Amino acid sequence: MSLRHAEQLAQERLRLLELEASLQRSELADTFEQWEKRKALAWGARIAGLGFRLFAQPRIRWLIATTLLSRLRGRRAH
């Protein structure tokens, strides 16, 4: 094998390795993005569940209703 042919093979291998590394980086970035979305959805579900449980309590519903009604009445008075 000539030196020139060996250099061409080495350059081709390097190019292929760079392409593979680029592909792996993009796949890793996509995976991290999916994990972040799942994490955000999990947090949202926890907060929604907590809010639902709070709103299921009659005292909390009454407090929210009276607060909203008092604010609506306050706006009408002005």
User: What pTM value is reported for the model?
Assistant: 0.52
State the total domains in the chain. Answer: 1
CB atoms within 10 A of CB 60: 13
pLDDT higher than 80, residue 43: yes
- Which stretches of 1-78 are assigned E, i.e. beta strand? none
> Is residue 74 very low, low, confident or very high in pLDDT (cuts 50, 70, 90)?
confident
**Cβ-contact 60, 54 below 8 angstroms:** yes
Q: Is pLDDT larger for residue 76 or for residue 5?
A: 5
Expressed as residue numbers, the domain containing 28 is: 3-77
> Is residue 77 very low, low, confident or very high in pLDDT (cuts 50, 70, 90)?
low
**Cβ-contact 44, 50 below 8 angstroms:** no
**Cβ-contact 61, 55 below 8 angstroms:** yes
For range 48-64, the mean pLDDT: 90
